[in-house]
Amino acid sequence: MRLLEACIHTPLAKALGWSLAHFLWEGILIALALAVLLFLCGPGPARLRYALCCLAMLAMPVAFGLTLAVTLRAPHAAAVVAWPPRAPESSGEAQQGGAASPRPFTERVREALPWLVPFWMAGVLVFYLRSLGSWMAVQRLRRRGVCAASAAWQERLQRLRLRLQLSQGVVLLESCLVDVPVAIGFLRPAILMPVGLLMGLSTDQVESILIHELAHIRRRDYLVNLLQKFVECVLFYHPAVWWVSGVVRAERENCCDDVVVKLNGDARGYAAALATLEKNRWPAGEPAMAATGGSLMKRIHRLIQQPERPRTAAAPIFAVGLLVVSLGVAVGGWQGKAAQPLLNGRGSVSARPVPAATVSAEIPPARNLPVAPATASRPHTDRSASPLAPAQTEHLWGGPGVPLLAQAQAQEPVRKGGPLRAQLATPYQKWLTEDVAYIITDEERSAFKNLQTDPEREHFIEQFWLRRDPTPGTLENEFKQEHYRRIAYSNEHFASKIPGWKTDRGRIYITYGPPDEIESHPSGGKYERPAAEGGGTTSTFPFEQWRYRFIEGVGNNIIIEFVDPTMTGEYRMTMDPSEKDALRFVQPPSLPTAAKAGATVKVLGNGAALLAVPLAGYGDHKVNVLFRITSMTGRPVADFEDTVPGPVPSYTRFVSLPAGSYRFTVTLKDVTTGAVAKDDVSFEVK
Amino acid sequence: MAQKQPDPPRPTDAELEILTVLWSRGRSTVRDVHDAIALRKPTQYTTVLKTLQIMAEKGLVRRDEEQRAHIYEASRPREWTQSQLAADLLQRAFSGSAKSLLLGALSAHKVSREELAELRKFLEEYEKGTR
């Protein structure tokens, strides 16, 4: 106790005590300045916001250190800083928030302050030990329960790494201990993926997540995060520190999100990937947990740039006014009473907004876009202007939502034959809609549509084939050769009144290659109906059955049937109920869906699904068929209505859907008898 | 499948690594497991084989002896083992705060189910808006 008391009375302890007390308001002021500046930036570039947050984070220990140095350097001041008891009005009261009370109170405060120090030290120690423990736990995470991801993925990671211009080597590990993908380490960084995720998500989704993690590594976020921890530990007692730290973390994620969107150009796809990832964290049957602030929701909103509440122009002005006034009050209050030396310490604080303000003037160059001044309301004004000049806004948009919005814009004019068609003219348009229509991914398609110049498109096409080259490094690209051979084959063999590549057979042939077996009945004829279908014989339209021993992502022993009900040579893909037994092997048991009264869905790769309903039972009655696809929330996705003049074995429809869960509802109405039959099936497109 | 066996013991670090491979790659032969592990560190084939045999005895993995090359698969899902491992002191004490050191694509906290549903709805509606 005596020892402690001796310590307490050292000048250092006194200075520390005062610094701790002063930091209370310093911290608040920094946080306030940051809040105002962030408000002024609005949803501006994440990098700017992040820089501001980091500055604030840095300003905190600097302010604390300066205060300490100043109080130490002037040992007299240490006493004086502490407001000589004789002073008529001591600023100590103002800072302690105490009311103007008789002298003994300030005296007591002055006496008591150094006693804060041991408590503070104990706190710092606790926080450090905790950080050390977590750091050790993280180090173990890297060694324990991990295995290297497959070579294909490692290779993909390296390619992404090069695209991000990251020279540092990165290891990709699968871990059974993490439940979300994480990046660890700064000297030998590693990305840990939860086991099974590489398989569970689509390639593009995994890639976007990998880009996010690589962006963390490139930005050395791990190191920054450690430093941030250090500050948190020292100034743990101030809520403002935790708040700023939290904002830094959030903005950091935003920065990485921006990198992803910039690189693969599909904000929506990425947002969906994040949502899927979050969903995968829920093992089935786990009870719901309390909400945790919805940071993911915010990020996704941001990614998609949902317009927020429109901000009036008055708001920023008001904010600036508030900042100026509060600073003025603070400074004025200070100069009025404070001890001279401390002014330096405070100077560092109030200086903060100045450089920051100059930074904010540089927003447009940072986004390297020729945009008007970056005001808080920029995205909104652009948005409101967009219907007038879609092509133009596409250039103008600087926000992270660019590619997505541009895509949304792009789709419209294409449909209407608007200005964009001219942009994506001829060879490139044809390349997209004909050459690679079946094999290009949605992400690639939207990225391609966003390209502005022909050299970019050329480069994209080159990369597109390069990514698929089974033997990179050789001159030949077997994939490309085979692809064009398939197109040529389709055009030669499957053409009717529409070009061969556009037919169902062409589509299947181009997507999956030549089948292992073809059984062809070009003239239809007698067909032995299996007993399950009622037996007997029936006549059929011309039909073909293709058998694939194996299709990657779909399954083994796939039989696809094509029927030519119009007798024009245009075979349409069907799913004859008599093939059900064979189709049972088509998918792993999780994918297929049980048919109740005959409606079936076969999910093929690439988001394609084949909807079918048997009509054999209707004989030569006319049947009204209504197919409806809704999302699981009941939102209609697609409707098909058709009247079938029997007799046909079945009615099928081929649809292409984005990944998700859907419900397929069939309504059959026998026009002759008026009987109505219904059925529904839910299915999932991966 | 056989009746419910008693719970296997907590896996050692080496065993955990093999389990991770099995969870990641699914049913595998010893050769596959060895190849996967050798990607990261030099390991003898026989070491992997022996470890897998011990694990089979412990009930951590199941062995399919129908084919010539024995095929192993993890007997418990990842989640179960993960909860077993939570008994590990270091893991338990610090996994919470360790998360703040990790740079993940998602925050350390799970989103509630309601939020998740809201999120999906939002994305769907957004999509509807652009189509």
DSSP string computed for A170-190: -EEEEESS-SS-EEE-SSS-E
What's the token pair of residue A456? 């970019």
Residue A125 has pLDDT above 90, yes or no: yes
Lowest mean pLDDT among A573-582, B26-35, B48-57: A573-582
A205 is a domain residue: yes
Our separate counts of H helices and E strands in chain A read: 27, 17
The answer to whether A93 and A106 have CB atoms below 8 angstroms apart is yes
Question: In a mutagenesis test of the A interface, which of B32, B33, B101 is the best target, namely the one with the most A β-carbons within 10 Å?
Answer: B101
Model confidence at A355, pLDDT cuts 50, 70, 90, reads very low
In A482-575, at which residue ranges do the beta strands (DSSP E only) sit?
517-521, 525-528, 537-540, 543-551, 555-563, 572-574
State the pLDDT at residue A284: 43
Cis before A647? omega within 30: yes
A401 is a domain residue: yes
- The CB-based long-range contact list for B74-79 (8 Å cut-off, 24+ gap) reads B74/B19, B74/B22, B74/B23, B75/B5, B75/B8, B76/B8, B77/B23, B78/A176, B78/A195, B78/A196, B78/B23, B79/A283
A205 and A81, same domain (yes or no):
no
Whole-Å CA distances, A62 to A27, A70, A264, A508:
11, 12, 39, 65
Across the interface, whether the CB atoms of A301 and B118 are under 8 A apart is answered: no
In A71-205, at which residue ranges do the beta strands (DSSP E only) sit?
146-148, 171-175, 182-184, 190-194
> Which domain covers residue B62, as residue numbers?
13-80
State the pLDDT at residue A540: 64
State the pLDDT at residue A408: 37
Among A176, A181, A660, select the one facing B16 at the smallest CB separation: A176
**End-of-domain residue from the set A192, A218, A244:** A218
Across the interface, whether the CB atoms of A304 and B109 are under 8 A apart is answered: no
A114 and A177, same domain (yes or no):
no
A330 and A409, same domain (yes or no):
no
Residue A33 has pLDDT above 90, yes or no: yes
A344 and A382, same domain (yes or no):
no
Q: Residues 39 to 98 of B: which have CB under 8 A from any A CB? A: 39-40, 78-79, 81-82, 85, 90-91, 93-95, 97-98
A571 and A455, same domain (yes or no):
no
Residue B109 has pLDDT above 70, yes or no: no
Number of domains composing chain B: 1
Whole-angstrom Cα distance, residue A657 to residue A660?
8
Whole-angstrom Cα distance, residue A254 to residue A219?
13
State the pLDDT at residue B111: 64
Model confidence at A9, pLDDT cuts 50, 70, 90, reads confident
What's the token pair of residue A487? 């197109």
The answer to whether A507 and A521 have CB atoms below 8 angstroms apart is no
B74 is a domain residue: yes
A72 is a domain residue: yes
Number of domains composing chain A: 4
Q: Residues 378 to 417 of A: which have CB under 8 A from any B CB? A: 407-408, 411
State the pLDDT at residue B127: 64
Q: pTM value?
A: 0.51
Question: Chain B: residue nearest A306 by CA?
Answer: B126
Handedness of CA A137, A138, A144, A145 (dihedral sign): positive
B71 is a domain residue: yes
Range among A49-58, A132-141, A648-657, A672-681 with highest mean pLDDT value: A49-58
The CATH number of the domain holding residue B38 is 1.10.10.10
**End-of-domain residue from the set A474, A497, A528:** A474
A635 is a domain residue: yes
A244 is a domain residue: no
Residue A386 or A656, more confident: A656
> Which domain covers residue A604, as residue numbers?
515-685
A599 is a domain residue: yes
Burial of B58: CB neighbours in 10 Å, binned 0-12, 13-18, 19+: middle
pLDDT mean over A283-303: 54
| CA-based nearest residue to A53, from A326, A257, A325, A254 | A254
Question: In a mutagenesis test of the B interface, which of A150, A177, A226, A411 is the best target, namely the one with the most B β-carbons within 10 Å?
Answer: A177
A345 and A385, same domain (yes or no):
no
Across the interface, whether the CB atoms of A292 and B111 are under 8 A apart is answered: yes
Residue that is written with structure tokens 């695209």 in the block:
A163
User: What one-character-per-residue DSSP string does A498-525 give?
Assistant: S-GGGSHHHHHHHHH-S-SEEEEETT-E
Range among A97-106, A434-443, B49-58 with highest mean pLDDT value: B49-58
A149 is a domain residue: yes
Residue A249: partners with Cβ closer than 8 Å, 6 or more residues away: A225, A228
The answer to whether A598 and A651 have CB atoms below 8 angstroms apart is no
A624, amino acid identity: N
Lowest mean pLDDT among A51-55, A72-76, A169-173, A416-420: A416-420
Residue B90 has pLDDT above 70, yes or no: no
A379, amino acid identity: P
A595 and A657, same domain (yes or no):
yes
A110 and A45, same domain (yes or no):
yes
Cite the DSSP H helix spans in A46-102. Answer: 46-73, 75-80, 91-96
Coil, strand, or helix at residue A43? coil
A79 and A181, same domain (yes or no):
no
Range among A56-60, A269-273, A671-675, B26-30 with highest mean pLDDT value: A56-60
Residue A75 or A454, more confident: A454
B131 is a domain residue: no
Residue that is written with structure tokens 């007798």 in the block:
A567
State the pLDDT at residue A386: 35
pLDDT mean over A599-609: 76
Residue A252: partners with Cβ closer than 8 Å, 6 or more residues away: A50, A216, A219, A221, A224, A225, B103
A592 is a domain residue: yes
Note the pLDDT tens digit of each residue in A676-685.
Answer: 787 888 888 7
B109 is a domain residue: no
Whole-angstrom Cα distance, residue A107 to residue A103?
6
State the pLDDT at residue A407: 38
State the pLDDT at residue A422: 43
Lowest mean pLDDT among A93-107, A251-265, A615-629: A93-107
Whole-angstrom Cα distance, residue A65 to residue A22?
11
B57 is a domain residue: yes
User: What phi and psi, each to the nearest 5 degrees, are found at residue A556?
Assistant: -95, 155
State the pLDDT at residue A64: 92
What's the token pair of residue A486? 């398939």
pLDDT mean across residues, chain A: 70
- For A678, the enclosing helix (H) or strand (E) is strand A676-685
State the pLDDT at residue A324: 54
Note the pLDDT tens digit of each residue in B53-80.
Answer: 999 888 888 888 777 778 888 888 877 7
A551 CB within 8 Å of a chain B CB: no
| CA-based nearest residue to B92, from A98, A140, A600, A376 | A140
Handedness of CA A553, A555, A557, A560 (dihedral sign): negative
A543 and A663, same domain (yes or no):
yes
Tell me how close the Cα of B65 comes to any Cα of chain A, in angstroms: 23
Coil, strand, or helix at residue A670? strand
Q: Which residues of A touch B119 (CB under 8 A)?
A: 275, 278, 296-297, 300
